[in-house]
Amino acid sequence: MKILVTGGAGFIGGNFVQYMVNKYPEHMIYNLDLLTYAGDLTKHRDIEHDENYRFVKADIADRATIMELFETEQFDYVVHFAAESHVDRSITEPEIFIQTNVLGTQVLLDAAKAINVKKFVHVSTDEVYGDLDFDPTTFFTEDTPLAPNSPYSASKASSDLLVRAYHETYGLPMNITRCSNNYGPFHFPEKLIPLTISRVLADQKVPVYGNGANVRDWLHVLDHCAAIDLVLHKGENGEVYNVGGHNERTNLEIVKTIIAQLGKSEDLIEFVTDRLGHDLRYAIDPTKLEALGWQPTYNFDTGIEQTIEWYLENKWWWENIISGEYQQYFEKQYGNR
Q: Which residues participate in catalysis according to the annotation?
A: 126-127, 152
Query: In 3D, which of 265, 169, 176, 269 has the Cα closest to residue 227?
Result: 176
CB atoms within 10 A of CB 271: 13
Those residues whose C-beta lies under 8 Å from the C-beta of residue 65, and which sit 6 or more positions away, are 58, 59
Measure CA 45 to chain center. Answer: 21
One of 207, 235, 245, 303 touching ligand TYD (CB under 6 A): 207
One of 5, 17, 83, 289 touching ligand NAD (CB under 6 A): 83
- Binding status of residue 34 toward ligand NAD by CB under 6 A: yes
From 176-184, 205-213, 290-298, 313-321, give the range in contact with ligand NAD by CB under 6 A: 176-184
Applying CB under 6 A, what is the total number of residues that bind ligand NAD?
Answer: 30
One of 5, 9, 197, 268 touching ligand NAD (CB under 6 A): 9
Q: Under rule CB under 6 A, which residues in 211-270 are in contact with ligand TYD?
A: 214, 216, 251
From 6-14, 106-114, 288-296, 299-307, give the range in contact with ligand NAD by CB under 6 A: 6-14
Q: Under rule CB under 6 A, which residues in 59-98 are in contact with ligand TYD?
A: 87
- Binding status of residue 187 toward ligand TYD by CB under 6 A: no
Of the two residues 35 and 146, which places its CB atom closer to ligand NAD in the complex?
35
- Binding status of residue 35 toward ligand NAD by CB under 6 A: yes
- Binding status of residue 37 toward ligand TYD by CB under 6 A: no
Of the two residues 35 and 272, which places its CB atom closer to ligand NAD in the complex?
35
Confirm if 13 and 36 have CB atoms less than 8 A apart. no
From 5-13, 200-208, 226-234, 278-286, give the range in contact with ligand NAD by CB under 6 A: 5-13
Burial of 266 (0-12, 13-18, 19+ CB in 10 A): exposed
Query: In 3D, which of 223, 219, 102 has the Cα closest to residue 153?
Result: 102
CA dihedral sign of residues 96, 97, 99, 101: positive
Confirm if 253 and 193 have CB atoms less than 8 A apart. no
Q: Which residues pair with 281 in a beta bridge?
A: 132, 215
Applying CB under 6 A, what is the total number of residues that bind ligand TYD?
Answer: 12
CA angle in degrees (0–180, nearest 5) for 335-248-123:
80
- Binding status of residue 158 toward ligand NAD by CB under 6 A: no
